[in-house]
Amino acid sequence: MQVQEFYFKNFISQQINMNIPLYQREYSWSKEECKELFNDIMEIGANDDRQSYFIGSIVYKVEDNGVIGSISDLDIIDGQQRITTLTLLLCSFCKKYKEINKNYAMGVFNNNIINNNMEKTKKLYLREKDDVTLDKIISSIFSDKKLDFDDNDSINIQENYKYFNKLLSNEDMEIFWKGFNKLIFISVRLQREDKPQSIFESLNSTGKKLTNSDLIRNYVLMDSKDQKTLYNDYWKNIESIFSDIDEKDFDLFFSSYLMSKLNNPINSDIYKEFKHYANLKYGDNIKLLVKDIHSNAEYYNNMFYGNEKDEDLKRVFDSLRSLNNTVVYRFLLSVYDDYVNPEINLTKEDFIQITKYIESYVLRRYVCSLNTNAMGSVFLILHKSIDKEDYLNSFIVNLLQYPKNDNKRFPKDEEFKESCKTKKIYNKNGRHMLYKLENYHNKEIVIVENCTIEHIMPQNLNSQWKECLGENYKEIHETYLNTIGNLTLTARNSEMGNKTFDEKLNMEEGFKDSKLHLNKYLSNLTSWNEKEINNRADILFNEIKSIWEYPLVTSEIEKKLEEIKEIKTGMVYTINDHKHLEEHTHSRKLYNILSDMILDIDENVIQIFNKQYIVFKTTKNFTEIDPQKQGLKLYLDIGIDKIKDPKGLCNDLTDIGHYGTGNTMVYLKKEDDINYVYKLIKQAYDTTQKIKRDDN
């Protein structure tokens, strides 16, 4: 690289095109930063004893070995915010100074803002939106037309230009121009062998920190030959998704994205984690990486920002989003990716059910006051445990595997009910619960945006309420005030206030006249006390447990949960635990011969003795054996429609309860059939190995 000191006036007056590359962030200086720079320029301009003022460094790369002196293309690597701000200041100076000395203003304009060529091209080219707005400003300086901005213009460019117009008075012109001409900077010109990405990162470590979105965009676009294509086809849309939100939301997306890929927690340095993942997974295939980020940004946009086009999916996404729990998206991003993958059998109905169960899991845990950190670890590893061939059932098994004393558990109805009675829910989650309760029985959605949460027993007790509640009124008030039994929705919250229950009941649009389902129970009462609060909580819970339901546990799911429980509790079974496999029995003889044959299929095949049956597997089950008195029942993990069984020994048990994971059953009773049954087992093995290869 070539490093030298430059006066900014000498740098900007050259015949140059300064390009702000697509990987750079948009212009973002605030008015406060503009004011600070302006004041510094005015201060140095008024001080005749100081001949220079340092404004930092500008790092650039000259394209096509251009030589400064003719029109050269410069890609600005660092310093674009200062260059843009100083250009806006120059535009403002020319606009104002033309009223004093038009020829001089025109000279400054021609020398510093545009090039002295036939086309009179400007010197600074910004990113799309910024550039359109800068063009308008430049075109307006010596025009009689009024400068009009619209919604397509850059807010920061136009606002800072207007701000400089206010700051620059006629009396300030000469002082400003003297100060401007004293500005110096360090010019860092990169050579072909220099690596812009490394230099950019080192600059960011010492200067004003760039955001993670800036750093990641720079990483994927800076060194790519397909920079424009990648930006226009993918990154531009990613930016549009996150354009109007806080930077923390972009970080949240990327942390969710990375955790969904790595199945590990990430530290606070998102950019460092991203670089590690990108190098490990994609290497030089940046296009594939950007396409994947783009797809996941679309999924996130649909789920987290409510832009899903499918109405059925949108409904469950919106409902889940109301709980404001972000850890679920590290899992749901992967599920959405499976949903759009035609090679994975995840139906829309199952995707909806999974999302509903996630909401139930989150809501029940909230009501039961269970630790949210534990839930984060569940969603971190959940996806990699799912069997893609049995998606929904596998999801349920993995979500329900935690026992009742585990902090990761999915609370059952009994625990949920007890917590519902006393959980304080006077907050956003409580409003969500009341909203869904109100709409549970309605075919058409009841709009309750104009309703607020009403405490039936009020927040401040007067003497009448104390008398109504009895001598334990303090304890009752503390225990039940903000619970589901005492909360409802009404459009008359301010009018109800601390009124007695009878007044709230019979006032205009009171509980008795209310059309809301939540208030029907209240309309038949004459008083409100601890007993009625608990009665209403019990009534509402019958609906609550149906809305936020515990997953349906089929016999197949129950068996798998039992297997997990046995493994976790350290229960070890052997062949001696199977009464039909005692030494010298017919079934034991069949088993000894067949098991040796199965274990010889592949060195990775293992046998696992469970309480009721024996599993043969590699990474996936392919055969389970249920010993019988007269022989062996085998459950093969291959569909009845796929197995070649010329003797017709196999039966389909898909809808019939049985042990194991295989749905194709064959009963081995005779030693003469062992070789034939082995061929059936081999087909199941080959099928599961194909699934394994496809998964990888």
- Output the DSSP codes for 491-556: S-HHHHTT--HHHHHHSTT-TTT---GGGHHHHT-S---HHHHHHHHHHHHHHHHHHTPPPP--HH
CA distances from 521 to 213, 452, 481 (A): 52, 18, 18
What would the 3-class secondary structure string for 124-193 be?
EECCHHHHHHHHHHHHHCCCCCCCCCCCCCCHHHHHHHHHHHHHCCHHHHHHHHHHHCCEEEEEEEECCC
Q: Please give the Cα distance from 557 to 567 (Å, whole number).
A: 16
In contact, 454 and 491? CB cutoff 8 Å: no
Whose tokens are 């060195």? That residue is: 603
| HSE (side-chain half, CA atoms, 13 Å) at 36 | 7
Pull the structure tokens for residue 21. Answer: 């590359």
Question: What single DSSP character describes residue 576?
Answer: G
Contacts with 91 (C-beta within 8 Å, 6 or more apart), sequence order: 113, 137, 138, 141, 161, 164
| Closest residue by Cα to residue 399 from 342, 331, 474, 321 | 331
CA distances from 107 to 96, 102, 364 (A): 14, 9, 72
Please tell me the predicted confidence (pLDDT) of residue 347.
Answer: 96
| Closest residue by Cα to residue 448 from 401, 405, 490, 497 | 490
Instruction: Report H helices in 29-127.
Output: 31-46, 80-97, 102-112
469-480 burial, b at 16+ Cβ within 10 Å, e below that, comes to beeebeebbebb
Please tell me the predicted confidence (pLDDT) of residue 497.
Answer: 84
In contact, 599 and 605? CB cutoff 8 Å: yes
| HSE (side-chain half, CA atoms, 13 Å) at 380 | 15
Q: Please give the Cα distance from 99 to 203 (Å, whole number).
A: 41
CA distances from 356 to 95, 386, 549 (A): 60, 17, 8
Which stretches of 322-466 are assigned E, i.e. beta strand?
452-455
Beta bridge partners of 18: 74, 124
626-645 burial, b at 16+ Cβ within 10 Å, e below that, comes to bbeeebbbbbbbbeeeebeb
| Max CA distance (Å), the chain | 114
Pull the structure tokens for residue 69. Answer: 């002196």
5-34 burial, b at 16+ Cβ within 10 Å, e below that, comes to eebbbebbebebbbbbbbbbbbbebeeeeb
In contact, 662 and 617? CB cutoff 8 Å: no
CA distances from 622 to 304, 554, 595, 661 (A): 39, 21, 13, 8
Please tell me the predicted confidence (pLDDT) of residue 638.
Answer: 94
Q: What is the model's pTM?
A: 0.71
**Which domains are present in the chain?**
2-198 (no CATH), 417-547 (no CATH), 572-695 (3.90.1150)
Please tell me the predicted confidence (pLDDT) of residue 201.
Answer: 61
Contacts with 135 (C-beta within 8 Å, 6 or more apart), sequence order: 122
- Output the DSSP codes for 473-498: HHHHHHHHTTSGGGEEEES-HHHHTT
| HSE (side-chain half, CA atoms, 13 Å) at 146 | 3
Question: What single DSSP character describes residue 291?
Answer: H
What would the 3-class secondary structure string for 209-258 be?
CCCHHHHHHHHHHCCCCCHHHHHHHHHHHHHHHCCCCCHHHHHHHHHHHH
Helix, strand, coil shares of the chain, percent, nearest 5, are 55, 10, 35
Q: Please give the Cα distance from 60 to 1 (Å, whole number).
A: 10
Q: In which residue ranges of the chain is pLDDT below 70?
A: 64-70, 192-209, 443-446, 569-571, 691-696
